[in-house]
A and B are shown apart, each in its own frame.
Chain A
Protein backbone atom coordinates (compact mmCIF):
# COMPACT_ATOMS: atom_id res chain seq x y z
CA UNK A 1 0.00 0.00 0.00
CA UNK A 2 1.36 3.37 -1.02
CA UNK A 3 1.78 5.93 1.77
CA UNK A 4 2.72 9.56 1.24
CA UNK A 5 4.30 11.80 3.87
CA UNK A 6 4.97 15.52 3.70
CA UNK A 7 7.40 17.29 5.99
CA UNK A 8 7.19 19.86 7.44
CA UNK A 9 3.48 20.16 8.15
CA UNK A 10 3.78 23.94 8.29
CA UNK A 11 6.35 26.48 7.20
CA UNK A 12 6.63 30.24 7.62
CA UNK A 13 9.20 32.29 5.72
CA UNK A 14 9.80 35.96 4.98
CA UNK A 15 9.17 37.19 1.48
CA UNK A 16 12.06 36.58 -0.89
CA UNK A 17 13.33 33.39 0.70
CA UNK A 18 13.35 30.13 -1.23
CA UNK A 19 10.88 27.44 -0.19
CA UNK A 20 11.78 23.76 0.02
CA UNK A 21 8.90 21.30 0.45
CA UNK A 22 9.45 17.59 0.87
CA UNK A 23 7.36 14.59 -0.12
CA UNK A 24 8.21 10.95 0.50
CA UNK A 25 6.44 7.81 -0.68
CA UNK A 26 6.82 4.19 0.33
CA UNK A 27 6.47 2.36 -2.99
CA UNK A 28 9.08 3.47 -5.50
CA UNK A 29 7.25 1.86 -8.44
CA UNK A 30 5.26 4.98 -9.14
CA UNK A 31 3.63 5.97 -12.42
CA UNK A 32 4.04 9.70 -11.84
CA UNK A 33 3.98 12.30 -9.07
CA UNK A 34 1.88 15.43 -9.01
CA UNK A 35 2.21 18.62 -6.93
CA UNK A 36 -0.84 20.71 -6.15
CA UNK A 37 -1.64 23.93 -4.40
CA UNK A 38 -4.81 24.44 -2.33
CA UNK A 39 -5.99 27.83 -1.11
CA UNK A 40 -8.33 27.94 1.92
CA UNK A 41 -11.85 26.94 0.98
CA UNK A 42 -10.88 26.38 -2.63
CA UNK A 43 -10.11 23.52 -4.97
CA UNK A 44 -6.73 22.15 -6.00
CA UNK A 45 -4.54 23.74 -8.63
CA UNK A 46 -2.15 21.42 -10.43
CA UNK A 47 1.37 22.83 -10.31
CA UNK A 48 3.62 20.18 -11.81
CA UNK A 49 3.46 16.57 -12.89
CA UNK A 50 6.62 14.47 -13.09
CA UNK A 51 6.52 11.25 -15.03
CA UNK A 52 8.37 8.28 -13.55
CA UNK A 53 11.06 8.53 -16.24
CA UNK A 54 11.84 12.17 -15.40
CA UNK A 55 14.20 13.52 -12.74
CA UNK A 56 12.76 17.01 -12.56
CA UNK A 57 10.18 19.38 -13.95
CA UNK A 58 10.20 23.18 -14.01
CA UNK A 59 7.55 25.86 -14.38
CA UNK A 60 8.50 29.47 -13.76
CA UNK A 61 9.71 29.84 -10.16
CA UNK A 62 8.76 26.23 -9.40
CA UNK A 63 11.06 23.25 -9.74
CA UNK A 64 10.21 19.73 -8.66
CA UNK A 65 12.69 16.88 -8.45
CA UNK A 66 12.00 13.17 -8.26
CA UNK A 67 14.23 10.44 -6.85
CA UNK A 68 12.34 7.18 -7.18
CA UNK A 69 15.06 5.05 -5.63
CA UNK A 70 14.88 6.95 -2.36
CA UNK A 71 11.13 7.56 -2.57
CA UNK A 72 11.38 11.33 -2.48
CA UNK A 73 10.29 14.43 -4.32
CA UNK A 74 11.17 18.01 -3.49
CA UNK A 75 9.33 21.13 -4.60
CA UNK A 76 11.44 24.29 -4.73
CA UNK A 77 9.80 27.69 -4.98
CA UNK A 78 12.28 30.45 -5.69
CA UNK A 79 12.00 34.00 -4.32
CA UNK A 80 8.78 33.41 -2.40
CA UNK A 81 5.95 35.97 -2.46
CA UNK A 82 2.97 36.47 -0.12
CA UNK A 83 0.77 35.10 -2.91
CA UNK A 84 2.56 31.76 -2.52
CA UNK A 85 0.86 31.30 0.86
CA UNK A 86 -1.24 28.14 0.56
CA UNK A 87 -1.21 24.44 1.36
CA UNK A 88 0.95 22.38 -0.97
CA UNK A 89 0.03 18.75 -1.60
CA UNK A 90 1.88 15.97 -3.36
CA UNK A 91 0.14 12.90 -4.73
CA UNK A 92 1.14 9.62 -6.35
CA UNK A 93 -0.96 6.85 -7.85
CA UNK A 94 -1.90 4.21 -5.30
CA UNK A 95 -0.18 1.53 -7.40
CA UNK A 96 0.85 0.88 -10.99
CA UNK A 97 -2.41 -1.05 -11.38
CA UNK A 98 -4.41 1.82 -9.91
CA UNK A 99 -2.75 4.76 -11.62
CA UNK A 100 -5.96 6.81 -11.56
CA UNK A 101 -6.36 6.55 -7.80
CA UNK A 102 -4.20 9.25 -6.24
CA UNK A 103 -2.81 8.93 -2.74
CA UNK A 104 -2.29 12.35 -1.18
CA UNK A 105 0.05 13.55 1.51
CA UNK A 106 -1.37 15.63 4.36
CA UNK A 107 0.18 18.76 2.88
CA UNK A 108 2.56 21.51 3.93
CA UNK A 109 0.90 24.76 4.97
CA UNK A 110 3.05 27.66 3.80
CA UNK A 111 2.88 31.25 5.02
CA UNK A 112 5.02 33.88 3.33
CA UNK A 113 5.19 37.07 5.37
CA UNK A 114 5.71 40.47 3.68
Chain B
Protein backbone atom coordinates (compact mmCIF):
# COMPACT_ATOMS: atom_id res chain seq x y z
CA UNK B 1 0.00 0.00 0.00
CA UNK B 2 2.35 2.67 -1.31
CA UNK B 3 2.00 6.22 -0.08
CA UNK B 4 2.09 9.38 -2.15
CA UNK B 5 5.01 9.20 -4.58
CA UNK B 6 6.89 12.22 -5.85
CA UNK B 7 9.73 12.39 -8.30
CA UNK B 8 12.31 13.51 -8.65
CA UNK B 9 13.25 13.99 -5.00
CA UNK B 10 15.86 16.56 -5.90
CA UNK B 11 15.93 18.70 -9.03
CA UNK B 12 18.53 21.24 -10.09
CA UNK B 13 17.73 23.66 -12.87
CA UNK B 14 19.49 26.69 -14.28
CA UNK B 15 17.66 29.97 -14.53
CA UNK B 16 15.38 30.00 -17.55
CA UNK B 17 14.93 26.22 -17.76
CA UNK B 18 11.71 24.32 -17.16
CA UNK B 19 11.00 22.18 -14.10
CA UNK B 20 8.51 19.30 -14.11
CA UNK B 21 7.50 17.77 -10.82
CA UNK B 22 5.47 14.58 -10.70
CA UNK B 23 3.07 13.24 -8.10
CA UNK B 24 1.32 9.88 -7.95
CA UNK B 25 -1.48 9.85 -5.36
CA UNK B 26 -2.23 7.03 -2.99
CA UNK B 27 -4.36 4.21 -4.35
CA UNK B 28 -8.03 5.13 -4.17
CA UNK B 29 -7.37 8.87 -3.89
CA UNK B 30 -8.72 11.10 -6.62
CA UNK B 31 -7.88 14.49 -5.06
CA UNK B 32 -4.41 15.99 -5.38
CA UNK B 33 -2.99 19.12 -3.80
CA UNK B 34 0.30 20.95 -4.30
CA UNK B 35 2.00 23.02 -1.61
CA UNK B 36 5.24 24.97 -1.57
CA UNK B 37 7.60 25.50 1.34
CA UNK B 38 10.05 28.33 0.77
CA UNK B 39 13.24 28.43 2.87
CA UNK B 40 12.45 29.55 6.43
CA UNK B 41 8.76 29.92 5.56
CA UNK B 42 5.67 27.87 6.19
CA UNK B 43 3.75 25.64 3.84
CA UNK B 44 1.58 27.49 1.34
CA UNK B 45 -1.23 26.03 -0.73
CA UNK B 46 -0.80 26.25 -4.48
CA UNK B 47 -3.46 24.23 -6.28
CA UNK B 48 -6.12 21.55 -5.80
CA UNK B 49 -6.97 19.15 -8.62
CA UNK B 50 -9.22 16.23 -9.37
CA UNK B 51 -8.87 14.05 -12.44
CA UNK B 52 -8.85 16.35 -15.49
CA UNK B 53 -10.10 19.30 -13.43
CA UNK B 54 -8.54 22.20 -11.55
CA UNK B 55 -10.73 22.82 -8.51
CA UNK B 56 -8.85 25.65 -6.80
CA UNK B 57 -5.74 27.40 -8.13
CA UNK B 58 -5.92 30.44 -5.89
CA UNK B 59 -2.39 29.87 -4.58
CA UNK B 60 -0.68 29.51 -7.94
CA UNK B 61 1.53 32.37 -9.17
CA UNK B 62 -0.14 33.98 -12.18
CA UNK B 63 2.72 33.38 -14.55
CA UNK B 64 5.05 30.47 -15.37
CA UNK B 65 3.29 27.93 -13.12
CA UNK B 66 0.76 25.35 -14.27
CA UNK B 67 -0.61 22.07 -12.98
CA UNK B 68 -2.53 19.16 -14.40
CA UNK B 69 -3.93 15.83 -13.28
CA UNK B 70 -4.76 13.84 -16.41
CA UNK B 71 -7.13 10.92 -16.64
CA UNK B 72 -4.17 8.58 -16.80
CA UNK B 73 -0.82 9.11 -15.12
CA UNK B 74 0.57 11.31 -12.39
CA UNK B 75 -0.20 14.91 -11.56
CA UNK B 76 2.36 17.33 -12.97
CA UNK B 77 3.43 20.71 -11.60
CA UNK B 78 5.24 22.63 -14.31
CA UNK B 79 7.37 25.71 -13.77
CA UNK B 80 8.55 27.48 -16.89
CA UNK B 81 11.59 29.76 -17.06
CA UNK B 82 12.58 29.12 -13.46
CA UNK B 83 14.12 31.89 -11.36
CA UNK B 84 16.13 31.66 -8.14
CA UNK B 85 13.06 32.58 -6.11
CA UNK B 86 11.42 29.32 -7.22
CA UNK B 87 13.95 27.34 -5.14
CA UNK B 88 11.84 25.56 -2.54
CA UNK B 89 10.43 22.24 -1.45
CA UNK B 90 7.28 21.31 -3.36
CA UNK B 91 4.96 18.88 -1.66
CA UNK B 92 2.10 16.93 -3.13
CA UNK B 93 -0.75 15.53 -1.05
CA UNK B 94 -3.70 13.32 -1.88
CA UNK B 95 -6.98 12.41 -0.28
CA UNK B 96 -10.39 10.99 -0.75
CA UNK B 97 -13.00 13.74 -0.74
CA UNK B 98 -13.32 15.39 2.66
CA UNK B 99 -10.78 13.14 4.30
CA UNK B 100 -7.29 13.75 5.63
CA UNK B 101 -4.53 14.67 3.28
CA UNK B 102 -1.49 12.44 2.99
CA UNK B 103 1.74 14.05 1.90
CA UNK B 104 4.55 12.83 -0.28
CA UNK B 105 8.26 13.24 0.53
CA UNK B 106 8.55 16.38 -1.56
CA UNK B 107 10.70 17.56 -4.45
CA UNK B 108 13.47 19.95 -3.54
CA UNK B 109 14.04 22.33 -6.41
CA UNK B 110 17.27 24.28 -6.59
CA UNK B 111 17.67 26.97 -9.24
CA UNK B 112 21.25 27.95 -9.99
Contacts and interface: CB of A to CB of B under 8 A. Distances in A.
A42 B93 CA distance: 14
Nearest to A101: B45
Interface string B15-48: 0000000000000000101010000001111001
A56 B31 CA distance: 26
A44 B100 CA distance: 12
A11 interface: no
Contact of A44 (B44, B56, B91, B98): B91
Contacts, number: 55
Mostly helix, strand, loop or mixed at chain B's interface? strand
A49 interface: yes
B43 A89 contact: yes
Interface string B81-110: 000000000010101001111111110100
B1 interface: no
A90 to B, nearest CB: 11
Q: In which size bucket is the chain B interface?
A: 20 to 34
B88 to A, nearest CB: 13
Q: In which size bucket is the chain A interface?
A: 20 to 34
B59 interface: yes
A45 B43 CA distance: 14
Interface of A: 31-32, 34, 36, 41-46, 49, 89, 91, 94, 98-107
15 contacts: A31-B98, A34-B100, A41-B108, A44-B43, A45-B103, A46-B103, A49-B100, A89-B42, A91-B43, A94-B45, A100-B55, A101-B45, A101-B56, A102-B35, A107-B42
